[in-house]
Amino acid sequence: MSRAPEPWPPVETDLPQRHADAPDPGTDLPPHYAHCFGCGDQAEDGLHLRATVGEGHTILSQFTVTEAHQGAPGLAHGGLLACAFDEALGTTVGNLLRSPAVTAKLETSFLRPVPVGTTLFIDAHLDGIAGRKIYVSADGRLDAPDGPIAVRARALFVLVDLSHFVTHGRKEDLVAVAKDPSLLSHRPFEINP
Protein backbone atom coordinates (compact mmCIF):
# COMPACT_ATOMS: atom_id res chain seq x y z
CA MET A 1 0.00 0.00 0.00
CA SER A 2 1.49 3.32 -1.01
CA ARG A 3 1.37 6.46 1.12
CA ALA A 4 1.04 8.57 -2.04
CA PRO A 5 -2.46 10.04 -2.08
CA GLU A 6 -4.72 8.81 -4.86
CA PRO A 7 -6.92 11.38 -6.60
CA TRP A 8 -10.00 12.31 -4.58
CA PRO A 9 -12.79 12.05 -5.49
CA PRO A 10 -11.69 9.14 -7.70
CA VAL A 11 -14.31 9.90 -10.37
CA GLU A 12 -15.70 13.09 -11.85
CA THR A 13 -18.26 14.57 -9.47
CA ASP A 14 -20.51 17.56 -9.05
CA LEU A 15 -20.65 19.59 -5.86
CA PRO A 16 -24.28 19.19 -4.74
CA GLN A 17 -26.35 22.02 -3.37
CA ARG A 18 -27.05 21.85 0.33
CA HIS A 19 -30.63 20.61 0.66
CA ALA A 20 -33.14 23.41 1.22
CA ASP A 21 -34.03 21.82 4.59
CA ALA A 22 -30.41 21.29 5.67
CA PRO A 23 -29.86 22.76 9.14
CA ASP A 24 -28.19 26.16 9.24
CA PRO A 25 -24.51 26.65 10.04
CA GLY A 26 -24.04 26.74 13.80
CA THR A 27 -26.85 24.26 14.49
CA ASP A 28 -25.99 21.58 17.06
CA LEU A 29 -27.33 18.29 15.74
CA PRO A 30 -29.23 15.84 17.92
CA PRO A 31 -28.30 12.12 17.87
CA HIS A 32 -29.87 10.68 14.71
CA TYR A 33 -30.81 7.45 16.57
CA ALA A 34 -30.78 7.03 20.36
CA HIS A 35 -29.09 3.60 20.13
CA CYS A 36 -26.50 4.57 17.49
CA PHE A 37 -23.03 3.49 18.70
CA GLY A 38 -21.58 6.65 17.17
CA CYS A 39 -23.92 9.35 18.50
CA GLY A 40 -26.75 7.79 20.51
CA ASP A 41 -27.39 9.08 24.00
CA GLN A 42 -28.75 5.65 25.02
CA ALA A 43 -25.67 3.75 23.74
CA GLU A 44 -23.87 3.43 27.07
CA ASP A 45 -20.36 2.64 25.86
CA GLY A 46 -20.86 4.48 22.58
CA LEU A 47 -18.80 7.36 21.28
CA HIS A 48 -21.38 10.08 22.01
CA LEU A 49 -20.16 12.11 19.05
CA ARG A 50 -21.55 15.63 18.96
CA ALA A 51 -21.85 17.47 15.67
CA THR A 52 -22.39 21.08 14.66
CA VAL A 53 -23.18 22.24 11.16
CA GLY A 54 -20.37 24.24 9.60
CA GLU A 55 -20.25 26.66 6.71
CA GLY A 56 -20.68 25.43 3.15
CA HIS A 57 -20.34 21.67 2.88
CA THR A 58 -18.84 20.97 6.30
CA ILE A 59 -19.90 19.46 9.61
CA LEU A 60 -17.73 19.60 12.73
CA SER A 61 -17.88 16.72 15.17
CA GLN A 62 -16.07 15.96 18.38
CA PHE A 63 -15.75 13.09 20.77
CA THR A 64 -13.64 12.27 23.79
CA VAL A 65 -11.76 8.99 23.96
CA THR A 66 -12.59 7.08 27.17
CA GLU A 67 -11.24 3.96 28.87
CA ALA A 68 -13.95 1.96 27.09
CA HIS A 69 -12.33 2.85 23.75
CA GLN A 70 -8.83 1.43 24.33
CA GLY A 71 -6.90 -0.82 21.96
CA ALA A 72 -3.46 -0.69 23.65
CA PRO A 73 -3.12 0.54 27.26
CA GLY A 74 -4.16 4.17 27.33
CA LEU A 75 -4.58 4.47 23.55
CA ALA A 76 -7.69 4.55 21.36
CA HIS A 77 -8.44 1.47 19.25
CA GLY A 78 -7.97 2.23 15.55
CA GLY A 79 -11.19 0.50 14.47
CA LEU A 80 -13.08 2.57 16.98
CA LEU A 81 -11.55 5.76 15.57
CA ALA A 82 -12.68 4.57 12.11
CA CYS A 83 -16.18 4.23 13.58
CA ALA A 84 -16.06 7.85 14.76
CA PHE A 85 -15.18 8.96 11.24
CA ASP A 86 -17.94 6.81 9.74
CA GLU A 87 -20.36 8.60 12.02
CA ALA A 88 -18.97 12.09 11.32
CA LEU A 89 -18.99 11.49 7.57
CA GLY A 90 -22.46 9.89 7.60
CA THR A 91 -23.84 12.82 9.55
CA THR A 92 -22.39 15.14 6.95
CA VAL A 93 -24.05 13.29 4.07
CA GLY A 94 -27.39 12.84 5.87
CA ASN A 95 -27.78 16.36 7.14
CA LEU A 96 -26.49 18.31 4.15
CA LEU A 97 -28.32 16.22 1.54
CA ARG A 98 -31.25 15.12 3.74
CA SER A 99 -31.29 11.78 1.97
CA PRO A 100 -30.71 8.32 3.38
CA ALA A 101 -27.30 6.85 2.51
CA VAL A 102 -25.03 4.05 3.75
CA THR A 103 -21.27 3.68 3.92
CA ALA A 104 -19.98 1.58 1.01
CA LYS A 105 -16.25 2.19 1.53
CA LEU A 106 -14.27 3.85 4.32
CA GLU A 107 -10.53 4.51 4.28
CA THR A 108 -8.65 5.75 7.35
CA SER A 109 -5.06 6.93 7.78
CA PHE A 110 -3.72 6.95 11.32
CA LEU A 111 -1.02 9.60 11.60
CA ARG A 112 -0.56 9.95 15.38
CA PRO A 113 -1.59 7.90 18.43
CA VAL A 114 -4.75 9.11 20.16
CA PRO A 115 -4.51 8.76 23.97
CA VAL A 116 -7.43 8.16 26.33
CA GLY A 117 -8.74 11.55 27.44
CA THR A 118 -8.10 13.17 24.06
CA THR A 119 -10.93 15.06 22.41
CA LEU A 120 -10.84 14.58 18.66
CA PHE A 121 -12.10 17.48 16.54
CA ILE A 122 -13.34 16.04 13.25
CA ASP A 123 -13.82 18.41 10.34
CA ALA A 124 -15.82 16.61 7.64
CA HIS A 125 -16.44 17.85 4.11
CA LEU A 126 -18.84 16.78 1.39
CA ASP A 127 -16.57 16.57 -1.64
CA GLY A 128 -18.82 15.57 -4.53
CA ILE A 129 -21.64 13.49 -5.93
CA ALA A 130 -21.79 11.19 -8.96
CA GLY A 131 -25.25 9.63 -9.39
CA ARG A 132 -25.97 7.72 -6.15
CA LYS A 133 -22.32 7.93 -5.04
CA ILE A 134 -21.35 10.57 -2.48
CA TYR A 135 -17.70 11.28 -1.66
CA VAL A 136 -16.78 12.72 1.75
CA SER A 137 -13.55 13.23 3.68
CA ALA A 138 -12.45 14.39 7.11
CA ASP A 139 -9.47 15.37 9.25
CA GLY A 140 -9.39 14.59 12.97
CA ARG A 141 -7.29 16.90 15.16
CA LEU A 142 -6.03 16.38 18.70
CA ASP A 143 -7.66 18.46 21.44
CA ALA A 144 -8.39 21.61 19.43
CA PRO A 145 -9.92 22.61 16.09
CA ASP A 146 -6.41 23.60 14.97
CA GLY A 147 -4.54 20.81 16.78
CA PRO A 148 -2.26 18.35 14.99
CA ILE A 149 -3.99 15.96 12.59
CA ALA A 150 -4.09 12.44 14.08
CA VAL A 151 -6.50 10.68 11.71
CA ARG A 152 -7.68 11.30 8.16
CA ALA A 153 -10.54 9.50 6.48
CA ARG A 154 -12.42 9.44 3.24
CA ALA A 155 -15.45 7.50 2.27
CA LEU A 156 -17.95 6.57 -0.38
CA PHE A 157 -21.57 6.67 0.70
CA VAL A 158 -24.34 5.33 -1.56
CA LEU A 159 -27.81 6.84 -1.54
CA VAL A 160 -30.48 4.25 -0.74
CA ASP A 161 -34.26 4.12 -0.49
CA LEU A 162 -35.73 4.16 2.98
CA SER A 163 -36.86 0.60 2.25
CA HIS A 164 -33.19 -0.43 2.75
CA PHE A 165 -33.60 0.06 6.49
CA VAL A 166 -37.05 -1.49 6.75
CA THR A 167 -36.01 -4.53 4.69
CA HIS A 168 -32.73 -5.21 6.46
CA GLY A 169 -33.27 -3.91 10.01
CA ARG A 170 -34.00 -6.35 12.85
CA LYS A 171 -37.74 -6.46 13.44
CA GLU A 172 -37.72 -5.85 17.20
CA ASP A 173 -35.71 -2.67 16.74
CA LEU A 174 -38.05 -1.44 14.03
CA VAL A 175 -40.98 -2.19 16.33
CA ALA A 176 -39.29 -0.22 19.12
CA VAL A 177 -38.88 2.77 16.83
CA ALA A 178 -42.50 2.51 15.68
CA LYS A 179 -43.60 2.53 19.34
CA ASP A 180 -41.30 5.40 20.30
CA PRO A 181 -40.54 7.60 17.28
CA SER A 182 -38.50 9.93 19.50
CA LEU A 183 -35.68 7.33 19.23
CA LEU A 184 -35.05 8.85 15.77
CA SER A 185 -34.34 12.54 15.33
CA HIS A 186 -35.79 12.46 11.80
CA ARG A 187 -39.03 10.63 11.27
CA PRO A 188 -38.79 9.96 7.58
CA PHE A 189 -41.16 7.00 7.37
CA GLU A 190 -44.06 5.29 9.04
CA ILE A 191 -43.06 1.87 10.31
CA ASN A 192 -45.89 -0.64 10.51
CA PRO A 193 -44.21 -3.92 11.28
Ligand X SMILES: CCCCC/C=C\C/C=C\C/C=C\C/C=C\CCCC(=O)SCCNC(=O)CCNC(=O)[C@H](O)C(C)(C)COP(=O)(O)OP(=O)(O)OC[C@H]1O[C@@H](n2cnc3c(N)ncnc32)[C@H](O)[C@@H]1OP(=O)(O)O
Return residues touching ligand X (CB under 6 A).
Answer: 32, 38, 86-87, 90-91, 94-95, 98-100, 102-105, 131-133, 156, 158, 160, 186, 188
- Give me the residue whose beta carbon is nearest to ligand X: 90
Find the shortest distance in angstroms from Cβ 38 to ligand X.
6
Question: In terms of CB distance, is 143 or 165 closer to ligand X?
Answer: 165
Edge-to-edge order in the sheet of strand 133-142: 28-29, 50-53, 58-64, 119-130, 133-142, 149-159, 101-110
Question: In terms of CB distance, is 68 or 104 closer to ligand X?
Answer: 104
CA–CA separation, 38 vs 32, rounded Å? Answer: 10
Question: In terms of CB distance, is 30 or 113 closer to ligand X?
Answer: 30
Find the shortest distance in angstroms from Cβ 133 to ligand X.
5
Question: In terms of CB distance, is 88 or 114 closer to ligand X?
Answer: 88
Task: Note whether 39 and 47 are within 8 A (CB).
Answer: yes
Find the shortest distance in angstroms from Cβ 124 to ligand X.
11
Question: In terms of CB distance, is 86 or 123 closer to ligand X?
Answer: 86
3-state secondary structure 44-104: CCCCCCEEEECCCCEEEEEEECCHHHECCCCEECHHHHHHHHHHHHHHHHHHHHCCCEEEE
Find the shortest distance in angstroms from Cβ 153 to ligand X.
12
Q: What is residue 27's three-state secondary structure?
A: coil
Q: Which residues contact 34 (CB under 8 A, 6 or more apart)?
A: 40, 41, 42, 43, 182, 183, 184
In a 10 Å sphere around its CB, with 0-12 CB exposed, 13-18 middle and 19+ buried, how is residue 44 labelled? exposed
Question: In terms of CB distance, is 95 or 137 closer to ligand X?
Answer: 95
Find the shortest distance in angstroms from Cβ 73 to ligand X.
28
Find the shortest distance in angstroms from Cβ 140 to ligand X.
15
